[in-house]
Amino acid sequence: MALVNRSLVTIDDLSNGEIEALFSLADEMTDSMSEQFTLCQGKVLASLFFEPSTRTRLSFETAMHRLGGSVVSVADAKATSLAKGESIADMARVVGSYADIIVIRHPWEGAAKVVADYAGVPVINAGDGGHEHPTQTLCDLYTIVKERQAIRGLRIALWGDLKHGRTVHSLAYALARFGATILFHPGQGLEMPEHVIRKLTTEYGGELRRFEAVDAGGGGLFPLDAIYMTPSQPHQLAMMPDVSVQVELEMGVDALYVTRLQQERLSDNADDEGVKESYPVVDKKLLNEKEFERTMVMHPLPRVGELAYDLDADPRSMYFKQAARGVPVRMALIALLLGVKEVSSPEEDDWKHDYPVYCGGLGVRCRNPKCVSIQDTEVKYIKHQFQIVGNQPLTLRCIYCEHEIYPPYIASSDWHDGTLESKKYHSANSHWARDIKPENLIAFDTRDEAESHGFKPSHFVRNNC
């Protein structure tokens, strides 16, 4: 499938075959860097960074320069008309009329999707709040493939702030798709969000296993907390029902993917002090344990204390290689999206799940305070839409930030014979969650909300069943 004119908002916008083809092109570009200098002549990349960045911004800009293109750049929202209250949709339309491709980093989750919806040119998500960072994942996967040749069957531990860290969300999806086993080691209160776990287990065939915490003090074992996930198709561990966490760890870990505490995404909460104090650190002592003998130490960087400097000279450390590989990987991506290079990748079964979409004209809104869809400047034009990812309980996934909501009441816009008596709302736990056609579904957060739109409670609500 051609990549020209497509956008990269989430890692699921690329198939596995397309990712592998992109890596082949990155290899080719690395081997002949000086020959790429005319590929994007006359093309302009707009680099819009509304959050701090060193690696992503500078590697994208370096990549475009090495391809012979030009860059226009914003690194401060206060220097744009967003500061005057302009919507990001309007900004996207305008910048899309100046530039051939847009790279955007923004603190709101789903912001890159809105830009992609309105710009009219390819858009690359360089990080949207705590949602995703797909090009970091390309650098991470490329590094793993370079060092280990393949991803399938590897055992990769994600470490640190799994709740707010966008890099680990994109990476977990990709690792599951490529058939790696994923071990989770979150900091206290920083577990992988439930909506990410749901996607890993329902869409990528993963099997979730929770373990009791292991005492790291006595045995020196990697202090794996609680969660273990492995794709079951195919995977030998699926046939080991009594496997213990110790057995798991004795098998070794291929990569330890360390992340910093995302301080900027913490709430102003007294508990945050405890989170900081107990944040897990990776150092030489930990890496001396047997299970880490051959472990690659990875980190998207920047680091702020969770990864000791005394590991930098260790041949297992990969983090500066990950950053350096950002240039050829992003050169390949820009060239493919602009259509100045083409690659062939095998036709694949659809890797994206197709869910019915709830277009919530009435009723519910996303409840994630960081979601682009509920921000004051965006709410006037945005289409509130959710994928219907489950019926029992009714589970709606926001199409922008992917957070889930579980509305307790539902109704049908097609209220039978059109008589007011049949204009009823029901408990979302009733059979109506299955029976109402997705295109007719209306979901409500409260009974008051349903009744304010003229719906009366059905006996399913009155009997609370």
Interface with ligand CP by CB under 6 A: which residues?
53-57, 127, 136, 300-302
Query: In whole angstroms, what is the distance from residue 19 CA to residue 21 CA?
Result: 5
Q: Dihedral sign for Cα 198, 346, 137, 73, please.
A: negative
Q: Dihedral sign for Cα 234, 180, 172, 251, please.
A: positive
Q: Return the number of the residue (53 or 87) whose C-beta is nearest ligand CP.
A: 53
Residue pair 443/396 in contact (Cβ under 8 Å)? The answer is yes
Rounded to a whole number of angstroms, the minimum distance from the CB of residue 311 to ligand CP is 18
Tell me phi and psi for residue 25, to 5 degrees: -65, -40
Q: Return the number of the residue (173 or 444) whose C-beta is nearest ligand CP.
A: 173
Q: Return the number of the residue (311 or 389) whose C-beta is nearest ligand CP.
A: 311
Q: Return the number of the residue (66 or 397) whose C-beta is nearest ligand CP.
A: 66
Rounded to a whole number of angstroms, the minimum distance from the CB of residue 222 to ligand CP is 24
The amino acid occupying position 222 is F
Rounded to a whole number of angstroms, the minimum distance from the CB of residue 56 to ligand CP is 3
Rounded to a whole number of angstroms, the minimum distance from the CB of residue 135 to ligand CP is 8
Q: Return the number of the residue (54 or 202) whose C-beta is nearest ligand CP.
A: 54
Pairing label, strands 70-74, 255-258 = unpaired
Per-residue DSSP letter, 12: G
Rounded to a whole number of angstroms, the minimum distance from the CB of residue 133 to ligand CP is 6
Look up residue 41 and give its two tokens.
């002549």
Sequence-separated (6 or more) residues with CB below 8 Å from residue 1: 15, 18, 345, 347
CA 164 to chain centroid: 10
Query: In whole angstroms, what is the distance from residue 180 CA to residue 417 CA?
Result: 53
Rounded to a whole number of angstroms, the minimum distance from the CB of residue 320 to ligand CP is 12
Q: Return the number of the residue (114 or 298) whose C-beta is nearest ligand CP.
A: 298
For 334, other C-beta atoms within 10 Å of its C-beta total 26
Tell me phi and psi for residue 367, to 5 degrees: -105, 5
Rounded to a whole number of angstroms, the minimum distance from the CB of residue 175 to ligand CP is 17
Rounded to a whole number of angstroms, the minimum distance from the CB of residue 134 to ligand CP is 11
Q: Return the number of the residue (128 or 248) whose C-beta is nearest ligand CP.
A: 128
Q: Return the number of the residue (324 or 362) whose C-beta is nearest ligand CP.
A: 324
The amino acid occupying position 416 is H
Residue the block writes with tokens 């009435």: 362
Query: In whole angstroms, what is the distance from residue 23 CA to residue 138 CA?
Result: 8
Query: In whole angstroms, what is the distance from residue 446 CA to residue 425 CA?
Result: 11
